[in-house]
Copies of this chain bind each other. A is one copy, B any other.
Amino acid sequence: MKITLIGGGKLGKQLYSAFTAQTELKLVQWVVRSAEKTKTSEGIPLSNEIKELYPTDLFLIAVSDQAIPSVAGALPMEAFVVHTAGGVAIEALNQNRAGVLYPLQTFSEGRKINFSKLPIGLECKKASDLPLLEKLVKKLGATSFHMNSQQREQLHLAAVLVNNFTNHLFVEAAAICAQNNLPFELLKPLIKETVDKLQDLSPKASQTGPAVRNDHKTIEKHLELIQEHRLQEIYKVLTSAIQNK
């Protein structure tokens, strides 16, 4: 299977590493905006112009959401074109052979992702294109599942909750620690257990703390402790949500 990868951002770099770390998929070309800035393994042509295209089975687009339509628009209409975004409609790709390959993961600079067992959602305009994507996912060591556009939108929303919003709570907690001369490290075993619990218990069964036990005294005390209006709002909204589940 010959693959052309387009995009040199956080996901593009991780896919590049994953593709070049194995031998059964052939990355024929990597197209990035700033070709000179990105290192490549020997033998994989790097282009900074989307017009010089090598023969390929699949164009995999890992660029920002808003750039997807124009990148796809520059590719041949008969090509198989696949984007990797959770929140972009498959219709953003004009090709008849179009697909989405959505890795349910968060990608940061300086953090290497292990694709092994990673769930990757697949969606194709033509069902006959799914086997090729399934094969690609398998070669990465990841796990594929089928989804429709609505399921993908909802998964993307759920991913924002469990990753982006959870991480923001860590940001707020780290600030509280810093303001009180306490190392954030102290909270890490608790954070780890919050996640490890999910092995044995549903999130609902895992819930503990002042909100779920209706401990108004502690809730009021915490609201007094919080100086910042925005954190007070977060505290109130989440406490109320826990109490009403």
Contacts and interface: CB of A to CB of B under 8 A. Distances in A.
Contacts of A121: 186
Interface in A127-179: 145, 147, 150-151, 153-174, 176-177, 179
B169 A165 contact: yes
A206 interface: yes
Contacts of A185: 119
Interface string A6-42: 0000100000000000000000000000000000000
A166 B166 CA distance: 5
Interface string A204-245: 111111111001011001100110001101110110111011
A72 to B, nearest CB: 17
Nearest to A223: B157
Interface residues of A, number: 94
Given A151-B181, A159-B187, A197 B234 contact: no
**What's the number of copies of this chain in the assembled complex?**
2
Nearest to A192: B195
A111 B197 contact: yes
Contact of A155 (B159, B163, B182): B182
Given A158-B176, A186-B155, A234 B165 contact: yes
A118 interface: yes
A156 B106 CA distance: 28
Given A168-B245, A234-B238, 9 more contacts: A104-B189, A104-B190, A154-B182, A155-B177, A155-B187, A160-B209, A169-B169, A170-B203, A171-B245
B238 A193 contact: no
A218 B181 CA distance: 37
Interface centre among A10, A110, A163, A207 (most CB of B within 10 A): A163
